[in-house]
Structure 1
């Protein structure tokens, strides 16, 4: 009886995890700009992977695989936000996003202050080559 319940729970986790990963993939294709795509790639994907790994742990029913599954999820949990932040920051600086979709642009003041500081230190305004116009 317990094996049947665990199989049902594992199957449910696998289906939900797969649907979340599918939603992340569809969001990557459908959303209009870089920041929206990053949101679609990181949010459901981390939870989807957790559910798939939990289903795998329940289905295997062995304590030997738990450290490996926890390490896999922990590394994903650490690297997904950091990589999304770095890609988003690079996309902002190279203007690979639609600014009209931003509700609040908190990074604009930081970039403007950095450009003003650079202009004060070097005299004239430097021509930026990292922007794509």
Structure 2
């Protein structure tokens, strides 16, 4: 059983390192903020999560006691990463809409309604009846 656990731990650490490397590379190389969000929120989250799961498996097999710290960190990471990415994306879209200094995404500025009125900024108050 110890050999299987060692193989599983090694595989999870290598997989986690690969995901973290790919996510970091995507963060550094992708061109815009909206595409750059995918690196840390998806790949790096999976990389850190798999390293934490490997740690959860390693310590009980080492002879120590099981601790819930790694599990809680993993759950917190998987819950907060998508929420923070969503808020960053909404803030970027709002800033892009209200600030003319920011470069617009491929024709998105033309598709958004004019500022003002009773619209909510989270959805930009898109009127589905007008076909916008």
Q: TM-score, normalised by structure 2?
A: 0.72
Instruction: Give the length in aligned residue pairs.
Output: 109
Higher helix share goes to which structure?
1
Structure with more contact order per residue of length (Cα contacts < 8 Å, sep ≥ 6): 1
Return 5+ residue gaps in structure 1 as ranges: 120-133
C-alpha deviations, 1:39-59, integer Å up to 9, x for none? Answer: 111011221122111111111
Distance 1:82 1:97, change over 3 A: farther
What does 1:63-82 align with in structure 2 at a 5 Å threshold? 64-65=66-67, 67-82=68-83
C-alpha deviations, 1:82-122, integer Å up to 9, x for none? Answer: 1111111111122256512x8xx5xx54xx26x24169xxx
Q: TM-score, normalised by structure 1?
A: 0.72
Distance 1:71 1:34, change over 3 A: same
Choose from 79, 94, 105 the match for 1:99: 105
| RMSD of aligned alpha carbons | 2.3
Return 5+ residue gaps in structure 2 as ranges: 97-101, 120-132
How far apart are the structure 2 equivalents of 1:71 and 1:55? 14
How far apart are the structure 2 equivalents of 1:82 and 1:3? 38
